[in-house]
Amino acid sequence: MKKLLVLSIVSLFALMSFAVQFGGGGPSVVFIPGDQIVDPLDNGFDFTNGIFAFGGGGMGRIGEAPIFMGGEGWGGYSQKGDYKYTASYGAFNVSTQLSPSKYVAFDLGAGLGGFTQIIEVVQQENGETETADFIGGTSPYLNQISFEAFTFGPYAGITVTPIDFMSVYVRGQYIVGASFDGWKFENGDNVSDLEQQYIYFYNISAGFTFGF
């Protein structure tokens, strides 16, 4: 339900960005450093190389003021040994710009949306895995847990516009979120002894924007 809500919001505002003055959108790549990925199970998996995620979005200028509204979304994963970590994010964004010149602008904004992280045991082609059970002592048939949270993510960045219809941007974002359910097994049951209700991490992103 949360995923559908977030996806609907992102799609709506990404499309709206092309219907208002000075709208545009494009692809992006996001990097989450490895030290921002927390192992809630203390099972020893360590994604030191971080995660590269891919996605995109759109923003549109509202009126004459430098106020922009739109949406974005991205997803990615990393695997180490028997464990695979997947992250996905979607949000409605509001931002403003300070433009010291025609070609350079500084961006400040925030996104309101949702974040999902999934940890799973990846089976080999023969259906086996070296990891006998996912959480010590629990059923070996439950090979996936997930955590969904509502998020708020302020960000800051710089946009360079070499030509009128294309811009390149780089930005950093800090995301905080809260979950009503915490970690859950794939069958919907709560994971016992895991009391995590909040998340917080930062990411670095870059992308292209096409439009007018």
CATH domain 2-206 topology: Porin (2.40.160)
pLDDT score for 165: 83
pLDDT score for 18: 46
pLDDT score for 173: 98
pLDDT score for 52: 94
pLDDT score for 1: 46
What residues does each domain of the chain span? 2-206
User: Which residue ranges of the chain lie beneath pLDDT 50?
Assistant: 1, 4, 8, 15-20, 129, 131-132, 137-139
DSSP one-letter string for the chain: -HHHHHHHHHHHHHHHTTTSTTEEEEEEEEEE-GGG---TT------TT-EEEEEEEEEEE-SSSSEEEEEEEEEEEEEETTEEEEEEEEEEEEEEEE-SSSSEEEEEEEEEEEEEEEEEEPP-TTS--S-S-SSTTS-TT--EEEEEEEEEEEEEEEEEEEETTEEEEEEEEEEEEE-SS-EEETTSPBPTT----EEEEEEEEEEEEEE-
Contacts of 170 (CB under 8 A, 6+ apart): 157, 158, 204, 205, 206
pTM: 0.81
pLDDT score for 137: 43
Distance CA 106, CA 104 (A): 7
